[in-house]
Amino acid sequence: MYLIAPSILSADFTRLGEEVVNVIESGADWIHFDVMDNHYVPNLTVGPLVCEAIRPLTRALIDVHLMARPVDRLIHDFARAGANLISFHPEASEHVDRSLALIRDSGCQSGLVFNPATPLDYLDYVMDKLDLVLLMGVNPGFGGQAFIPATLAKLRAVRARIDAYERASGRRIRLEIDGGVKVDNIAEIAGAGADTFVAGSAIYGAGQDGDAHRYDSIIADLRAELAKA
């Protein structure tokens, strides 16, 4: 039930293909793909061309996290580039409901992302259009930041909303956490209700000292902590 989604933001970009293949072979579930535009967030990363390049290398779900504005054209571009799940920040779309519908219409699963200070009200009317809720444990823009503790209470609040929705609808919505997830806090984060865990620096930072860029032991450590949750 718990899924681990390494963020390639912290991968070695000189050998990105290998980093994607190895992290999945090491036991990860999804590839988390961070898209930053230097407007919505103060950093600039990768776009649909890179998604298209890694698509043939793995059958794992590609989880595209748009930190970019506007979002609608990017939805189309990433769907064509092989994304399976696309999430965006409500502040980055003029019409949140329309953007969610566009994601579904393009054949992808849809997600809405909440920054640390973003209220959960955006969930009030769109649960039927969501496959995933993503809570940021840090302010978006960079890997390697410390987890903001207030996120735990927010996770519990979203967990309660999702549980109520699932009971009423019979439909599953995943609750993903992104930012500051480490071996020493993942169990507590799972206890607060997350079921899907992005980890960038924790995973890719752990493998870089080895000679083969393998991530078996860090992923096993994360799973061992999850087993305690």
128 is catalytic: no
In whole angstroms, give the CA distance from residue 106 to residue 100.
Answer: 10
Cβ of residue 108: shortest distance to ligand DX5, in angstroms?
18
In whole angstroms, give the CA distance from residue 193 to residue 152.
Answer: 8
Binding pattern to ligand DX5, positions 165-204, x when CB under 6 A?
-------------xxxx----------------xxxxx--
Number of residues that bind Zn ion (CB under 5 A): 3
Tokens of residue 35, six digits? 């898209």
Tokens of residue 44, six digits? 């600039």
- The candidate with the shortest Cα–Cα distance to 174, out of 119, 113, 122, is 113
Q: Which does 71 bind (CB under 5 to 8 A by kind): ligand DX5, Zn ion, none?
A: none
3-state secondary structure of 208: coil
Binding pattern to ligand DX5, positions 116-155, x when CB under 6 A?
----------------------x-xx-xxx----------
Cβ of residue 82: shortest distance to ligand DX5, in angstroms?
19
User: Of 178, 192, 196, 201, which one interacts with Zn ion (CB under 5 A)?
Assistant: 178
Q: Alpha helix locations (H) across 81-150?
A: 96-105
- If binding is defined by CB under 5 A, does position 37 make contact with Zn ion? no
In whole angstroms, give the CA distance from residue 129 to residue 88.
Answer: 13
Cβ of residue 179: shortest distance to ligand DX5, in angstroms?
4
**Cis ω on the peptide bond leading into residue 6 (within 30° of 0)?**
no
Chain residues in the site for ligand DX5 (CB under 6 A): 7, 9-10, 32, 34, 65, 138, 140-141, 143-145, 178-181, 198-202
